[in-house]
């Protein structure tokens, strides 16, 4: 049974750590890494230029675009030359590439927004002959994820107010920006299969626990926000005409309250196994397996 925690220093420390991380990686998503150029507005136009077929497509060439849930900050060991992006050598794109014998260009970066990834697509770092492009984004758009955690550690009223009054408009913009990003990926690598990948659960559907650091009164609002983000990504994939690998169903029972079965950390991660409210090494393996099954 999940037992409710007290709203004390654990979650406050977690939010402080998460805020510090996002400030740190802002340099990456703003151009501090050679792999990710600075942010620029992503168009949400319903039309996109029709891609011309490349002279050749290399089915073994794989490009991963994503934020910290893809990069895997805090999961040892780090990738060489990852810089502030915090990419792990055990993140899910690396595991996916190994399982499918693909050559990976990992352009994931902690703190990246959809606009940042759009800039990366335009920077010339994505091979035009790529056979597979995975995209995972949206949680950082409009400060959604960090604002949610901050609001839901202040009061139940502020948590529900953010989810009900502010998050829907953010997610509406995110959907349009993701559609534009996915279409741009198809234009940049015309022969590639483009796949959008979602986010695993943080909270169980009901109840809470000391590890999660979220009080019982906030759980409904957090779950509502997680579900709404998943739905926004599903709509974006449908509108862009690409496949969507939702992690919401598969990660049921693997939330931050699931102990050894957890795919995401709560407020107190183990050293070398990810950061607060982000995937664990176990979670990265699970996501890699789910994406592999979807693209085989």
Structure tokens at 167: 């998050």
User: Is 254 among the residues known to form the active site?
Assistant: no
Are the C-beta atoms of 200 and 136 separated by less than 8 Å?
no
Are the C-beta atoms of 118 and 131 separated by less than 8 Å?
no
Are the C-beta atoms of 94 and 75 separated by less than 8 Å?
no
Edge-first strand order for the sheet with 103-106 is 103-106, 58-66, 130-136, 193-197, 243-245
| Catalytic-role residue among 33, 44, 68, 160 | 68
Tally the residues of the chain. 296
User: Is 60 among the residues known to form the active site?
Assistant: no
Structure tokens at 163: 């989810």
Structure tokens at 37: 């150029």
Q: What distance in Å separates the CA atoms of residue 80 and residue 235, rounded to the nearest whole number?
A: 35
Are the C-beta atoms of 128 and 189 separated by less than 8 Å?
yes
Catalytic residue set: 68, 278
């Amino acid at each position: 049974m999940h037992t409710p925690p007290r709203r004390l220093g654990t979650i406050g420390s977690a939010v402080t750590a998460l805020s510090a991380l996002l400030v740190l990686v802002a340099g990456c998503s703003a151009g501090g890494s050679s792999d990710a150029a600075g942010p620029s507005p992503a168009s949400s136009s319903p039309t996109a230029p029709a891609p011309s077929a490349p002279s050749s497509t290399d089915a073994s060439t794989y490009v991963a675009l994503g934020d910290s849930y893809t990069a895997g900050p805090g999961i040892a060991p780090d990738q060489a030359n990852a810089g502030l992006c915090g990419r792990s050598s055990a993140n899910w794109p690396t595991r996916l590439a190994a399982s499918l014998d693909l050559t990976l260009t990992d352009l994931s970066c902690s703190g990246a927004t959809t606009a940042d990834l759009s800039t990366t697509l335009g920077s010339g770092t994505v091979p035009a002959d790529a056979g597979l492009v995975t995209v995972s984004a949206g949680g950082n758009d409009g400060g959604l994820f960090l604002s949610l955690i901050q609001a839901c550690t202040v009061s139940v009223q502020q948590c529900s107010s953010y989810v009900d009054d502010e998050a829907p408009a953010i997610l509406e913009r995110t959907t349009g920006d993701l559609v534009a990003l996915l279409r741009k990926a198809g234009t940049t690598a015309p022969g590639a299969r483009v796949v959008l990948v979602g986010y695993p659960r943080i909270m169980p559907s009901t109840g809470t626990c000391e590890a999660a650091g979220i009080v019982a009164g906030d759980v409904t609002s957090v779950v509502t926000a997680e579900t709404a983000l998943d739905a926004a990504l599903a709509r974006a994939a449908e509108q862009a005409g690409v496949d969507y690998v939702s992690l919401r169903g598969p990660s049921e029972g693997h939330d931050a309250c699931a102990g050894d079965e957890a795919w995401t950390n709560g407020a107190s991660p183990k050293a070398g196994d990810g950061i607060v409210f982000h995937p664990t090494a176990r979670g990265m393996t699970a996501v890699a397996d789910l994406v592999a099954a979807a693209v085989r």
